[in-house]
Amino acid sequence: MSRKRITSKELAKLAGVSSATISRAFSPDSRIGGATRDRILAVAREHGYQPNAIARSLNNQRSRLVALVVNAIGNPCEAEEQQLLVHRLQAKQLLPIILCCADHTDRLQLMRLASTYQVDHVVIFSDMVSMKDAVDIFHTTRPIIVSFEPVESDSVSHIRIDGSAAAGEIIDKIVKDGRKRFAYLSGTSSSWIDKLRRKWFADALAKHGLAFEADAYGDYSYDSGFKEAVLLLHRSKADAIICGNDVMAIGARDAARRVLNRNTPDDLAIVGQDGIAMAAWDCHDLTTLSLDHAAFMDAVVDLIDRHDADLEGPHSITLTCKARWGTTA
């Protein structure tokens, strides 16, 4: 129960060797006698010695830390992906540092702070971070942008999501059901992602000679979905609402049912996006434009591996969404 951590030099004295040998005992493939290593490891265990990762990082120029920039942890739409990624990172002995921020200037501040920790990789989930800021702040670490901003760049790798086909399927079905008045409930008023997602559906509508009749803007939360849906349904005659994510769709559906007494799918069609586990819960059973989160995070890890292998050039991976059919549309 020592209050102070033992150093390699002290352990060296205890084991009767030099501190270099201690280090070698902990490096899997280094020239060291088997007997010596065993003895050192035994003494180390006895005294609770573990090499100091901070000192090692300084020497190595490799911290094994990964910064994850996200908007929220509490929102299931993001948390689900984050959990998958965290598990994958941990399996590679990489430790995730979470940078979670709603406010933009705070976020940049935070990113600067994390960059001083010499993180080996940066994964940006937030659609609010511009590529310029990302490259600026992490100039030694090529960031991985997990948004859908369609930019090719040598200094940034990114994952592109294509939901156009699945959005087409969904719109086709809803139109076939006889609906004509569509509204789009955005997750935010100012992000690439949201504009692109809306476009998938808008293009699909155009094929039927239709367009969105109304737009509303929330903040990806249940509350905003609820509130904006009420306003939307009061000021328009929409019979179908496409929502920016699943949580907002759930909020919108509750609003329709509770405030306006309209049920899905009979009186109103509601579509979500993301395909989170919750969307499939019996109480929701949402029709949603879903993404395979496991494949998504596999792609992120793939990019990390490419960076580690020091492959040059921009890296980009494209994933496609699928329609998940529930009973709300």
Summarize as ranges the residues that interact with DNA (CB under 7 A). 5, 7-9, 16-24, 26-27, 30-36, 49-52, 55-56, 58-61
* 76 contacts a second copy (rule: CB under 8 A): yes
Mutual angle of helices 34-47 and 8-15, in 10-degree steps = 120
* 74 contacts a second copy (rule: CB under 8 A): yes
DSSP alpha helix (H) spans, 48-103: 53-60, 76-91
Burial of 276 (0-12, 13-18, 19+ CB in 10 A): buried
CB atoms inside a 10 Å sphere around CB 205: 23
Q: Provide the minimum distance between the beta carbon of 211 and a second copy in the complex, in angstroms, as a whole number.
A: 30
Q: Are 99 and 108 in contact (CB under 8 A)?
A: no
Q: How many residues bind a second copy (CB under 8 A)?
A: 64
* 147 contacts a second copy (rule: CB under 8 A): no
d(CA 201, CA 197) in angstroms, rounded, equals 7
> Taking Cα atoms as reference points, which of 161, 160, 154 lies closest to residue 311?
154
Residue 316 interaction partner, one of DNA, a second copy, none, beta carbon < 5-8 Å per kind: none
Binding residues for a second copy restricted to 204-223, rule: CB under 8 A: 222
Q: Provide the minimum distance between the beta carbon of 162 and a second copy in the complex, in angstroms, as a whole number.
A: 25
* 58 contacts a second copy (rule: CB under 8 A): yes
Asked whether the bond before 28 is cis by omega within 30 degrees of 0, the reply is no
Q: Are 41 and 25 in contact (CB under 8 A)?
A: yes
d(CA 51, CA 246) in angstroms, rounded, equals 45
Which of 14, 37, 39, 98 lies at the binding interface for a second copy (CB under 8 A)?
Answer: 98
Binding region for a second copy (CB under 8 A) out of 37-45, 174-182, 238-246, 248-256: 248-256
Q: Strand 182-186 relative to strand 65-70: parallel, antiparallel, unpaired?
A: unpaired
Q: Are 164 and 323 in contact (CB under 8 A)?
A: no
Q: Which is nearer to DNA, 48 or 314 (CB)?
A: 48
Q: Provide the minimum distance between the beta carbon of 103 and DNA in the complex, in angstroms, as a whole number.
A: 26
* 53 contacts a second copy (rule: CB under 8 A): yes
3-state SS assignment for residue 187: coil
Residue 30 interaction partner, one of DNA, a second copy, none, beta carbon < 5-8 Å per kind: DNA
Which of 7, 10, 41, 97 lies at the binding interface for a second copy (CB under 8 A)?
Answer: 97
Which of 20, 206, 277, 311 lies at the binding interface for a second copy (CB under 8 A)?
Answer: 277
Side chain identity at residue 239, one-letter code = D
Q: Cα–Cα–Cα angle for 215, 131, 72, nearest 5°?
A: 60
Residue 190 interaction partner, one of a second copy, DNA, none, beta carbon < 5-8 Å per kind: none
Q: Could you list the residues that contact a second copy (CB under 8 A)?
A: 1-5, 48, 50-55, 57-58, 63, 65, 72-74, 76, 79-80, 82-84, 86-87, 90, 93, 95-101, 106, 110, 112-118, 135, 139-140, 155, 222, 226, 250-251, 253-255, 257-258, 277-278, 281-284
